[in-house]
Amino acid sequence: ETGVTQTPRHLVMGMTNKKSLKCEQHLGHNAMYWYKQSAKKPLELMFVYNFKEQTENNSVPSRFSPECPNSSHLFLHLHTLQPEDSALYLCASSLRTSDYNEQFFGPGTRLTVL
Amino acid sequence: GQNIDQPTEMTATEGAIVQINCTYQTSGFNGLFWYQQHAGEAPTFLSYNVLDGLEEKGRFSSFLSRSKGYSYLLLKELQMKDSASYLCAVMDSNYQLIWGAGTKLIIKP
């Protein structure tokens, strides 16, 4: 595997379910990001991890819970979501969070909440 | 607040030239990125500008004017595969990327 991978690619869940999104990067980067992408809206930064430490939490509801066990893996745990949470969830990585930090994206998980 | 503006949608003809504009107001500036995103795929890096002027990379060029808070992406010799969304993003003083909503480019034969 190369680059940034995400699983699953598609997920349909009910509002009472618990599910997790997984992201893995094979680039040797130290920073990882979760974004939410809704139609015709800018990418919304949700969480940032730098060297496994969470450095940003942009007022994300507690029903989204991130986990970063090491610099290569990032999870987003989902619990009691709302229909408005339906979106494309993108994971990205970069060498670091300061200076020039070109971000490399995974293909995303298309989430539908019923 | 921080704001990135770009047109929602543009249409162009195969073989032609198209210019996608981006204006920004951000707290600090550490560079501007352009990304390409095909439907259902990951955004991929196209260009980075931090100094004023034009950066050329094959059929794609990107221009920046920091004093005007303005950038454009120029695509030449358009091909059908260039149909995609083009995302403008500015790195602010905290090195966070502030994103525009993207411009959907439709190429017609």
DSSP string, A61-100: -TTEEEEEEETTEEEEEEES--GGG-EEEEEEEES-SSSS
Give A90's contacts in chain B (Cβ within 8 Å). Answer: 42-43
Find out whether B83 and B66 touch, Cβ atoms under 8 Å: no
Distance (Å, whole) CA A32 – CA B83: 28
Q: What is the pLDDT of residue A1?
A: 59
Maximum mean pLDDT: which of A94-98, B36-40, B69-73? B69-73
Distance (Å, whole) CA A112 – CA A17: 12
Token output for B54: 């034009």
Token output for B47: 């260009």
Closest CA to B27 of B108, B98, B100, B75: B98
Q: What is the pLDDT of residue A18?
A: 94
List per-residue pLDDT tens for chain A, 114 residues long: 579 999 999 999 998 889 999 999 999 999 999 999 998 899 999 999 988 888 877 789 999 999 999 999 999 999 999 999 999 999 999 998 887 779 999 999 999 999
Q: What is the pLDDT of residue A16?
A: 87
- Residue B70 clears pLDDT 80, i.e. is over it: yes
Token output for A80: 């009691």
Give A42's contacts in chain B (Cβ within 8 Å). Answer: 4, 98-102
Query: Which chain B residue has the Cα nearest residue A47?
Result: B96
A105 touches chain B (CB under 8 A): yes
- Tell me the per-residue pLDDT of B82-106, one tens digit each, with 9 for 90 and over: 999 999 999 999 888 999 999 999 9
Q: What is the pLDDT of residue A41?
A: 92
- Tell me the per-residue pLDDT of B41-67, one tens digit each, with 9 for 90 and over: 999 999 999 999 999 999 999 999 999
- Tell me the per-residue pLDDT of B11-24, one tens digit each, with 9 for 90 and over: 999 999 999 999 99
Q: What is the pLDDT of residue A84?
A: 95
Query: Which residues, 6 or more positions from B54, have their beta carbon under 8 angstroms from its beta carbon?
Result: B61, B62, B63
Stretch 24-83 of chain A: residues touching chain B, C-beta under 8 Å: 40-43, 45, 48, 56
- Residue B1 clears pLDDT 80, i.e. is over it: no
Q: What is the pLDDT of residue A108?
A: 96
